[in-house]
Homo-oligomer: A and B are copies of this chain.
């Protein structure tokens, strides 16, 4: 079953909770531990495989590169921990997102992943590309809530949907990595309110 390990599994080819899922978990845990200890530049497929207790060929077959392993950690974090059930107004949707960010980074491994990536991105182009890809992908996915607000007529049709997500999330990350302050739900709610207000008032339209 070679395709069991392909990056984009065919529907039904991955058995949740089965051997594949367990292997993935082992490898991603090992990769996160390696990256935390050695920084992004110090990590290799061989070291990840050794730590996970699997054959290097298993890791190569499924992920091909360290970048892909690290991107997969980010995907797993995002899909497991931010659940966004659509509501009927943009501010509620954005609040679910910003509260989700606060919750996400209370989990130590997620905070560690982002710490390592932010720190590495400053120094290494490869890490910067990976972080950029991860965030742009999350922003694109999340911006569906703004598309729905456009369809409801809640915000102008030329709203820059991704920019609304950016400005809602930005003050949280700014506190985490620039001013080095705590974040909490009250701050998250305020971010959502501000981004919704700006979107409704047509300030966040496409350039």
Contacts and interface: CB of A to CB of B under 8 A. Distances in A.
Interface of A: 115-116, 118-123, 128-129, 131-132, 135-136, 139, 163, 166-167, 169-171, 173-175, 177-181, 186, 190-191, 193-194, 197-198, 201, 203-204, 207
Contacts of A197: 197-198, 201, 203
Contacts of A186: 207
30 contacts: A115-B122, A115-B123, A118-B118, A118-B119, A118-B122, A119-B123, A122-B177, A131-B179, A135-B180, A136-B179, A166-B174, A166-B175, A166-B179, A167-B170, A167-B171, A170-B173, A170-B174, A170-B178, A173-B174, A173-B177, A173-B178, A174-B174, A177-B178, A186-B207, A190-B204, A194-B203, A194-B204, A197-B198, A197-B201, A198-B198
A177 B121 contact: yes
Contacts of A170: 167, 170-171, 173-174, 178
A203 B190 CA distance: 7
A201 B178 CA distance: 26
A136 to B, nearest CB: 7
A77 to B, nearest CB: 15
Contacts of A180: 121, 128-129, 131-132, 135
A174 B171 CA distance: 8
Instruction: Quickly give the copy total for this chain.
Output: 2
Contacts of A179: 131-132, 135-136, 139, 166
Nearest to A160: B190
A207 B203 CA distance: 25
A170 B139 CA distance: 16
B139 A178 contact: no
